[in-house]
Amino acid sequence: MDSQTRIEPPKYTATGLRTVHGLSILDPIPYAPPAKVACLPSSQDATLITASRNTLLLTGVTGLLGSYLVRDLLLDGRGLAVVARRDRKRSAADRVEAIVRSWEDVLGRVLPRPVVIEGDLTRPDCGLDAASLEWIATHCDEVLHNAASLTFRGTDPACEPWRTNVQGTRHVLDVCRQAGIRHFHHVSTAYVCGLRDGTVREDELEVGQDFGNDYERSKVAAERLVRGADHLDTVTVFRPSIIVGDSRTGFTSTYHGLFAVLRLGHTLLTRVLIGSTSGPALVALLGVGADDGKNFVPVDWVSDVVSHAVQSPAARGRTYHLTHPNPVPMDTIGRLVQQAVETYSRAAQADDPDLCDERWFADTMREQLDIYRSYLRNDPTFDRTNTLAIAGHLPCPDLDMPTLMRMARFAIEHDFGRRPVATVESRPARGATAVLS
Ligand SMILES: NC(=O)c1ccc[n+]([C@@H]2O[C@H](COP(=O)([O-])OP(=O)(O)OC[C@H]3O[C@@H](n4cnc5c(N)ncnc54)[C@H](OP(=O)(O)O)[C@@H]3O)[C@@H](O)[C@H]2O)c1
């Protein structure tokens, strides 16, 4: 095993596998799983739906963070119901089943199934029918609202990111009000701080700051709605910085921040006949300082802390910066881009059919420059007092060069999401399990 594929962060057991609150994920789960995802309202599973009002309702389960939350909360033995939407080919239940199965595949053990409720947050009451609402009122006592649109640009309130982030949050709050749910956990973003510099405290939200994009504005509006909901007893807010891949496997299903600049270097090398590329030169071209730092957090750690906090009543009612204590300097990002594309990307050849000239690249880059700048501007210092108080025992994994290279390799090998990754067949941790065993 070479140093780039070696997987040994400190908080994993001798087999290299994660522990959840001291329980190895290889340990048996204390109750038998049903054969299949349970859906509402047609196929309620009596063996699954036993206890009253202790089920957590989770949104955004089909996304990057949501798929890890589902794993961690199921491993914790938490009764779980999820609101998910169908896609063009699959029902919500089939999508969720694929995610749970992929984790079973990775973990080598069976997992219990969440109850799947098909819904779309942009519709009133999240598109839920009366039977689903009644089921939620009977069984759910808390919501973990994680779904969002990560669209950066869009000022029309009827379109993204506003439709899902603001209207959607309002609809989730409406469901809580009707169902009598009084504890709300909300996944926001550290970038509600907008363009602030200096130190940003966890208890601050609107201090007259400017914003880098509409996504940030929409997430502030969503936080404001949640904090203003007088039918809730507790509001707990999680604010991750830029979520990157899995610290052990490099897996990701979204390609923001770090991956945006990596993709730029990859595109330059693979589509323009230049022979090599310079990551540091690219970073300089983007107008960011070599010493500026970006705050990245691995998805497995974010999920670990959120699921721990959600399970700890004492953690309720506060705001948590899920940010890294050591931002990655832009200089390191520049070196990463260069090293990763030279190692994993195939340089353009003269006879490549999709070869482009340098002018094309320069034009494309100019077009998208403000998007990159909004990803790459220098970050403020995020105060982590509340996070350390509840999750000091869960240190954020180091984002050293081998870890970043693992993420870059995954992104390049999966063509930045153009090759499917989020299913049972392709989730890379299957390979990681093999490496570990
Ligand atoms: N990624 C980051 O760098 C980052 C950083 C800070 C905070 N966050 C926050 O973390 C949370 C999770 O982000 P992520 O990176 O996991 O995003 P993601 O991979 O894009 O997942 C978004 C999830 O939200 C769901 N969703 C979106 N619109 C919906 C709607 N109208 N109805 C129902 N479900 C809807 C998506 O469902 P479909 O699969 O059906 O689209 C998906 O499950 C978000 O609240 C985000 O703002 C993310």
Residue 435 has pLDDT above 70, yes or no: no
Type and span of the H or E element at 420: none
Name the residue type at position 376.
L
Q: Output the residue whose Cα is nearest ligand 1's atom 5.
A: 242
From 64, 96, 321, 322, the mutation candidate for ligand 1 (largest count of ligand atoms within 8 A of CB) is 64
What residue owns the CA closest to ligand 1's atom 39? 62
Of ligand 1's listed atoms, the one at least distance from the Cα of 187 is 45
Cα 256-260-266 angle, rounded to 5 deg? 140
Tell me how crowded residue 170 is: count the other CB atoms within 10 A of its CB.
Answer: 16
| Mean residue pLDDT across the chain | 84
pLDDT category at 421 given cuts 50, 70, 90 is low
- What gap in Å lies between CA 1 and CA 307, rounded to an integer? 32
| Centroid of ligand 1 to alpha carbon of 203 (angstroms) | 23
- Which pLDDT band holds residue 5 (cuts at 50, 70, 90)? very low
Could you read off the pLDDT of 247-290 as tens digits, one per residue?
Answer: 999 999 998 888 988 988 888 888 777 766 677 777 777 777 77
Kindly provide the residue ranges of all beta strands, DSSP E only, lying in 60-130, ordered along the sequence: 80-84, 115-118
Nearest CA to ligand 1 atom 17: 63
Task: Give, using CA atoms, the residue closest to atom 1 of ligand 1.
Answer: 243
Q: Ligand 1 centre and the CA of 351: distance in Å? A: 40
Question: Which amino acid residue places its CA nearest to atom 23 of ligand 1?
Answer: 60
174 CA distance to ligand 1 middle (Å): 20
Distance 343 CA to ligand 1 centre (A): 31
Q: How far is the CA of 10 from the centre of ligand 1 (A)?
A: 29
> What tokens appear for 138 in the block?
């009977």
Q: What is the mean pLDDT of residues 10-24?
A: 30
pLDDT tops 80 at residue 185: yes
In this structure, the residues whose C-beta lies within 6 A of any atom of ligand 1 are 60-66, 85, 120-122, 146-150, 164, 168, 187, 189, 240, 242-243, 253-254, 256-257
Nearest alpha carbon, ligand 1 atom 26: 147
Query: Separation of 66 CA from ligand 1 center, angstroms?
Result: 8
Of all residues in the chain, the percent with pLDDT exceeding 90 is 63
Nearest to 251 by CA among 99, 23, 58: 99
- Nearest alpha-carbon partner for 245 in 299, 295, 294, 296: 299
Tell me if the pTM is above 0.95: no
Instruction: From the CA of 121, give the closest atom in ligand 1.
Output: 32
Closest residue CA from atom 31 of ligand 1: 121
Bridge partners (DSSP) of residue 18 are 12
Nearest to 145 by CA among 92, 244, 219: 219
pLDDT in tens, 373-394: 766 788 999 999 999 999 999 9
**What atom in ligand 1 is closest to the CA of residue 253?**
19
- How many angstroms separate the alpha carbon of residue 283 from the centre of ligand 1? 28
What's the one-letter identity of residue 41? P
Ligand 1 mean position, distance from CA 406 (Å): 23
Cα-Cα end-to-end distance for the chain: 12
Taken in order of first residue, the domains within the chain and their CATH numbers are 19-244+295-323+379-395+417-432 (3.40.50.720)
Q: Whose CA is nearest to atom 38 of ligand 1?
A: 62
Token representation of residue 254: 């979204």
β-pair type (55-59, 328-329)? unpaired
Q: Evaluate if residue 38 carries a pLDDT over 80.
A: no
Question: What average pLDDT does this structure show over 359-367?
Answer: 75
Q: State the distance from the centre of ligand 1 to the C-alpha of 362, rounded, in angstroms.
A: 31
Closest atom of ligand 1 to CA, residue 59: 34
Question: Distance (Å, rounded) from C-alpha 437 to C-alpha 435?
Answer: 6
Q: Any residues with CB less than 8 A from the CB of 13 and at least 6 apart, and which? A: 19, 24
DSSP 8-state symbol, 393: T
Q: What is the DSSP letter of 12?
A: B
DSSP string across 220-285: HHHHHHHHT-TT-SEEEEEEE-EEE--TTT---S---THHHHHHHHHHHHHHB--S---HHHHHHH
How much distance in Å is there from the Cα of 246 to the middle of ligand 1? Answer: 16
Q: Ligand 1 center to residue 311 CA distance, Å?
A: 21
Beta strands in 353-417 (DSSP E): 381-382
pLDDT above 60 for 10:
no
Per the structure block, which two tokens stand in for 308? 């721990």
Least confident among 24-28, 50-54, 191-195, 241-245: 24-28
CA of 150 to the centre of ligand 1 (A): 7
Residue nearest to atom 7 of ligand 1 (CA): 189
